Structure 1
Amino acid sequence: MSVNSISLVGRAGRDPEVRYFESGSIVANLTIAVNRRSKQDEPDWFNLEIWGKQAQVAADYVKKGSLIGITGSFKLDQWKDKNTGEDRFKPVVRVDRLELLGGRKEEGGFSNNEPPMARSTEEDIPF
């Protein structure tokens, strides 16, 4: 049995780069920084590739610093460098599922997945 599955939770390293194709397809590319257990360690960075409706969600709601969760599979892009002719490789996570996690105020507004009516006030707390 073979399984190629990866799940990550982290913060977007940049706004998604979105491309639209004449066929109607859409792809969003961005990076995600995932912290390690120790606060002293640098985060791990992953390249993400998101297609279809999930890509449109990323384009509309994910910004640099957004907390997101993803599930997908690992792939290795490879190509020949046009200048040197050398083989090049880039590890990429092909995202199958994108979740917007946020939940706190960001940049003076509400987070991407928390509309104003969903926020509680001190008056809503029963104690």
Structure 2
Amino acid sequence: MSVNVVNLVGRAGADPEVRYFESGSVVCNLPLAVDRRSRNDEKPDWFNLEIWGKTAEIAANYVKKGKLLGIQGSLKIDAWEDRKTGGLRSKPVIRVDRMEFLGSRRDEEAATTPSYNAEEF
């Protein structure tokens, strides 16, 4: 038996990046900043989210940088050959199956104050 389930709660590190395909499919990519309880430094862990279909459209319309999200999905590893060096590159990606908006309006307003820089991950 194998299990590949990832549950995360964090804040959107940027506005969603959305792509529409001729086939009618839609994908949304989004960085998610997740604080660690046990770590003393203030830098969050960063996760790359990949969201497809109707959930991607909802994310595109309602998620903004700083929005508190709860997600459930699975871990996958994207691999490719670097065009410049020819070397094999890879990165972990969370393929989102479920997404929930968390927090209140007051939380959203407060979330705009701390700035998570998506380029740090």
Quickly name the TM-score band, shorter chain normalised. 0.7 to 0.9
- How many residues of Structure 1 are paired with residues of Structure 2 in the alignment? 108
Q: Which residue of 2 aligns with 1:18?
A: 18
Q: CA deviation at 1:68?
A: 0.3
Pairing of 1:35-114 with structure 2 (within 5 A)? 35-38=35-38, 40-41=40-41, 42-105=43-106, 106-107=108-109
Write the letter of the residue equivalent to 1:65: G
Deviation at residue 102 of structure 1 after TM alignment:
2.6
Distance in 1 between the 2:67 and 2:27 partners?
Answer: 18
Give 2:113's aligned residue.
Answer: none
SS in 2 for 1:18: strand
The DSSP-based 3-state class of the residue aligned with 2:59 is helix
Q: How far apart in 1 are the matches of 2:39 and 2:74?
A: 27
Larger RCO of the pair (alpha carbons < 8 Å, separation 6+): 2
Structure of larger gyration radius: 1
The amino acid across from 1:67 in the alignment is: L
Match of 1:56, SS?
Answer: helix
C-alpha distance in structure 2 between counterparts of 1:83 and 1:90, whole Å: 17
Deviation at 1:38, TM superposition (A): 3.5
Using structure 2 for the length normalisation, give the TM-score. 0.84
Q: Distance in 1 between matches of 2:88 and 2:48?
A: 19
Shift in Å, 1:104: 2.4
C-alpha RMSD over aligned residues: 1.5
Amino acid at match of 1:17: E
Within 2, Cα distance between the matches of 1:100 and 1:74?
21
State how far apart, in whole Å, the 2-side matches of 1:38 and 1:62 are: 28
Structure 2: segments with no counterpart, 5+ residues: 110-121
Q: Match of 1:19, as an amino acid?
A: R
